Structure 1
Amino acid sequence: MGRPRGFDEAEVVRRAAGLFAGRSYDGVSIDELVTHLGVHRNSLYKTFGSKRGLYLAALRWSLEHEVTPLIERIREAGGPAEGLDGALGGADGGAALDLLLLAAAERAPADPEVATLVTGALAALDSAFAAPGPTEGGGPAGALTAALLGLRIRVRSGTAGAETTGSRAALARLLDRH
């Protein structure tokens, strides 16, 4: 019988999600994971198999614990403008989307499993923004998801400010007209 695990796997996955969301998959080395997470290299490999295995666990955790609650806030909003505001105006300011954004841009094009997870999350966002009825091809709901992600990119880029606030307000006005 092996030694009992000396770390909380769920906590390690949660902390890894934050690290990957801040710096991306390629921006985090195994040495940095070991140091940041406080897990021995052998334990990390034994538990997750590889850096990719830990990344997939972190992405799944983020989708379940960060993106899904954000989707629920959008669904519960009084309309698309309120949904967009709820997604960006929550306690995290939309940071729940960060790992999804990086996964979509960096890993999904090269990793079919990540692509499947990203596609499912984007479809759920589209569905949350959609009015009841069919949403073939994304339609307006897909445009709202794209706008939400675009606004979050501006915030992450450090260029957020009056332009982002203005863009958000202009989008809300457009949504209120339709």
Structure 2
Amino acid sequence: MGRPRGFDEAEVVRSAAELFAGRTYDGTSIDDLVAHLGVHRNSLYKTFGSKRGLYLAALRWSLEHDLAPLIGRIAEAAGPLEAVREALAAPATGTGLDLLLLAAVERAPVDTEVAGMVAEAFAALDRAAGASVRADDGDSDSDSDSDEASGLATALTAAVLGLRLRARSGTSGTAVDRAGAAIAQRLDQR
């Protein structure tokens, strides 16, 4: 019988998600993971198989624990203005949107499994944004209204992700908040 695992796997995955969300996959070495997580290299390999295995576990964790609740709040928003506020109010320290953005630009182009998870997350964000747009429209049923709502939902998702990217790059929170409010107000006026 082997030795019992000396670490909390869920805590390691959560902490790895934070590290990957701040540094990217390629910007994080196994030595960085060992130092940050406080887990021996052999234990990481035995549990996750590889750095990629840990990354996939961290991405799944982030999508489920950080992004899914945010998507739920966006879907329940009373309109686009509230949806944008919810999205921009996501904690700056949360991994959800940040790890999703990094996964989309760094790993999805070269890893089909990551690409699939990113595509599912984008689709969920679009559906949630669509729910907020339809809530604002009074649930119109015509095909042209549905097509417009779908297009607006995708645009809203792209705008929120772009604003999050700008915030990560150092744009002041005030500027990001103003831009988000301007987008949402325009959507409310339509």
**Structures share a fold, TM > 0.5?**
yes
Q: How far, CA to CA, are the matches of 2:147 and 2:2 in structure 1?
A: 51
Q: Please name the residue that 1:79 is paired with.
A: 79
Q: Which amino acid aligns with 2:13?
A: V
Corresponding residue pairs, total: 177
Q: Which residue of 2 aligns with 1:68?
A: 68
- Contact 2:84/2:181 (8 A) holds in 1: no
Cα deviation for residue 94 of structure 1 reads 8.2
3-state DSSP of counterpart to 1:125: helix
Gaps of 5+ in 1: none
1:106-117 equivalence runs, <5 A = 106-117=106-117
Match of 1:28 in 2: 28
Asked whether the equivalents of residues 135 and 141 of structure 1 are also in contact (C-alpha less than 8 Å), the reply is no
Q: Is the 8 A contact 1:87 1:93 kept in 2?
A: no
Which residue of 169, 172, 177 maps to 2:181?
169
Amino acid in the other structure paired with 1:56: L
Asked if structure 2 preserves the Cα contact closer than 8 Å seen for 1:88 and 1:94, the reply is no
The two structures, once aligned, show a CA RMSD in angstroms of 1.9
Equivalent position amino acid for 2:166 in 1: R
CA contact under 8 A between 2:88 and 2:177: conserved in structure 1?
A: no
Q: Secondary structure at the match of 2:27?
A: coil
1:50-81: CA deviations, max 9, x gaps? 00000000000000000000001101110111
Distance 1:11 1:161 in 2: 29
Q: Which amino acid aligns with 1:21?
A: A
Instruction: State the identity %.
Output: 66
Q: Which has the higher contact order (CA 8 A, sep 6+)?
A: 2
Calculate the TM-score normalised by the size of structure 2.
0.87
TM-score when normalising by structure 1 = 0.93
CA distance in 2, matches of 1:11, 1:100: 19
* Cα distance in 2 between the residues matched to 1:162 and 1:40: 42
Flag the 1:119–1:135 CA change in 2: closer, same or farther, 3 A: farther
AA paired with 2:81? A
Pairing of 1:69-148 with structure 2 (within 5 A): 69-90=69-90, 92-93=91-92, 95=94, 96-130=96-130, 131=134, 139-148=151-160
The answer to whether the Cα contact below 8 Å between 1:77 and 1:83 also exists between their aligned partners in 2 is yes
Q: Which residue of 2 aligns with 1:41?
A: 41
Alpha carbons 1:81, 1:172 under 8 Å: kept: yes
The Cα of 1:139 is off from its aligned counterpart by: 1.2
> Is the contact between residue 104 and residue 118 of structure 2 (CA under 8 Å) also seen in structure 1?
yes
C-alpha displacement of 1:42: 0.4
Name the aligned partner's letter for residue 6 of structure 2.
Answer: G
Question: Letter of the aligned partner of 2:123 in structure 1?
Answer: A
Residues 89-136 of structure 1 show CA distances to partners (whole Å, capped at 9, x for unaligned) of: 24x158431000000010000000000000000000000011256569
Q: Could you tell me how far apart the structure 1 residues matched to 2:93 and 2:13 are?
A: 20
Query: CA offset at residue 176 of structure 1?
Result: 1.0
Q: Which amino acid aligns with 1:145?
A: T
Secondary structure of residue in 2 paired with 1:159? coil
For the 8 Å contact 1:75–1:129, the answer to whether it is kept is yes
